[in-house]
Amino acid sequence: MSQEPNYTANPGKQLLRTVDGVDYLRIPVKTHLITKDDDMADVVLKYPKDQMQEGDILFISEKAVACTQSRAIPMEDIKPRKLAVTLSRYVTKTPAGIGLGIPETMEMALQECGTLRILFAAFCSVIGKLLGQKGWFYLVAGPKARGIDGPTEGTIPPYDHYVVLTPADPMGTSKKLAQVLGHPVAIVDINDLGANILGFSEKEPSMAQLAKILGDNPLGQSSECTPMGIIRRA
């Protein structure tokens, strides 16, 4: 089936993705720069609402949702303790972002998840590395730690000087937004390493299925100004 002509993928991204023999369009939706002064319910009514059809699913970047919840914190407002400085040195940096690899993001992980949990995660990470296993730190620290974003090259200003936490209550937020919009809503953490679905308003399709559909990060990470997109069966 031919792609709908009015839709264009972000630079370097694909509009179409085939999962389990089914073709899906992932249509990027441009918005203004979303900040703590925005209400995400207003944003979804203003931008994607008129483009959506029966059966479509709106997916929103967790960063955009977190910003509307005042969960984006300027770097200069974070005062890392010595423990945060030490632990951040041992975090593996990935091409997808800085993660907890700087003192400011590690400090926020300690505050969000608790010092004991982060210390236990660090201990498990050391054991994992001895056994040749990666990723144990984030497995133990949990999604709140995994979703913390630090400033990276290409992050759109002013967020290139911010640490962004995971959104509060992503499941509840996705359900509220779906009621406002009249279509299913997913809140997603996607980067160039893959997709993690934090909240989804429906039972079907499964979160694992959504993660496959979005696994190549169709939104992009920087100046595209597309913090949300529409999933549509092609």
The label of the residue with tokens 């990666």 reads 134
Does pLDDT of 96 surpass 80?
Answer: no
14-43: average pLDDT: 95
Q: Are residues 154 and 76 in the same domain?
A: yes
Per-residue pLDDT at 1: 43
Q: Are residues 33 and 139 in the same domain?
A: no
Per-residue pLDDT at 3: 46
Q: Are residues 67 and 115 in the same domain?
A: no
Q: Are residues 145 and 111 in the same domain?
A: yes
Per residue in 159-195, pLDDT (tens digit) is 889 999 999 999 999 999 999 999 999 999 987 778 8
- CA dist., res. 114 & res. 127, Å (int): 20
pLDDT averaged over every residue in the chain: 91
Report in angstroms the alpha-carbon separations of 112 from 142, 149, 167, 228.
Answer: 10, 13, 12, 25
The residue out of 147, 164, 181 marking a domain boundary is 164
pTM: 0.89
Q: Are residues 78 and 155 in the same domain?
A: yes
Which amino acid is residue 62, in one-letter code?
Answer: E
Percentage of residues in the chain having pLDDT higher than 70: 94
Strand stretches in the chain, DSSP E = 16-19, 22-29, 57-61, 72-74, 162-164, 185-191, 194-200, 228-233
Q: Are residues 186 and 107 in the same domain?
A: no
Contact 106, 91 (CB under 8 A): yes
Most confident range (mean pLDDT) of 105-119, 137-151, 207-221 is 105-119
16-45: average pLDDT: 96
| Residue 40: closest CA among 231, 230, 157, 170 | 170
Q: Are residues 33 and 90 in the same domain?
A: no
- CA dist., res. 157 & res. 134, Å (int): 32
In a domain, 3, yes or no: no
Q: Are residues 65 and 77 in the same domain?
A: no
Per-residue pLDDT at 158: 87
Per-residue pLDDT at 7: 84
How sure is the predictor about 9, in pLDDT bands with cuts at 50, 70 and 90? Answer: confident
CATH number for the domain harbouring residue 43:
3.30.1330.100
Does pLDDT of 44 surpass 70?
Answer: yes
Structure tokens at 211: 């993660």
In a domain, 96, yes or no: yes
The residue out of 109, 139, 164 marking a domain boundary is 164
| Residue 46: closest CA among 30, 57, 35, 62 | 30
Domain that holds residue 45: 16-71+167-233
How sure is the predictor about 94, in pLDDT bands with cuts at 50, 70 and 90? Answer: low
More confident of the two residues 219 and 178: 178
Q: Are residues 76 and 119 in the same domain?
A: yes
The label of the residue with tokens 């429906």 reads 202
Report in angstroms the alpha-carbon separations of 129 from 1, 84, 90, 139, 170.
Answer: 47, 20, 11, 13, 31
Which amino acid is residue 86, in one-letter code?
Answer: T
Q: Are residues 153 and 185 in the same domain?
A: no
The label of the residue with tokens 């997709």 reads 195
74-96: average pLDDT: 88
The residue out of 164, 198, 222 marking a domain boundary is 164
Contact 19, 228 (CB under 8 A): no
How sure is the predictor about 204, in pLDDT bands with cuts at 50, 70 and 90? Answer: very high
Q: Are residues 64 and 175 in the same domain?
A: yes
